[in-house]
Homo-oligomer: A and B are copies of this chain.
């Protein structure tokens, strides 16, 4: 079964009805190599000749978040972004401050050691973290060399 219908089925079991908006949104998120904002999702839908109200998009996001089908990402530019939630795929992002491109960054042991260190030193129980990198992507480094 395709990944998209598996996700739809997950929702059907919980009282949600079929919605082609939702189906499309999940498709965009599955296909995208970087997290999408509400606006980008709306634009994608319009590119496919679907014109939902923005409220619908926000509400869809809300449902998908609630059911843990997607993950909310904050890349510090004032809008939230979303990507498909996959267990065992905790990763971070590298955002190019020149062109805005977002790359995913996988880290071997992630921050387990650091989190444990914090918990033992400060008694603060770390439950999650946010780690994003900012800099210049390979391509933009080339361009700036030329200029």
Contact = CB atoms under 8 A, between A and B. Distances in A.
A105 interface: yes
Interface residues of A, number: 31
Nearest to A129: B133
A141 interface: yes
A94 interface: yes
Nearest to A138: B123
A60 interface: no
Nearest to A139: B123
A96 interface: yes
Interface of A: 74, 76, 94, 96-97, 103, 105, 107, 111, 114-115, 117-118, 122-138, 141
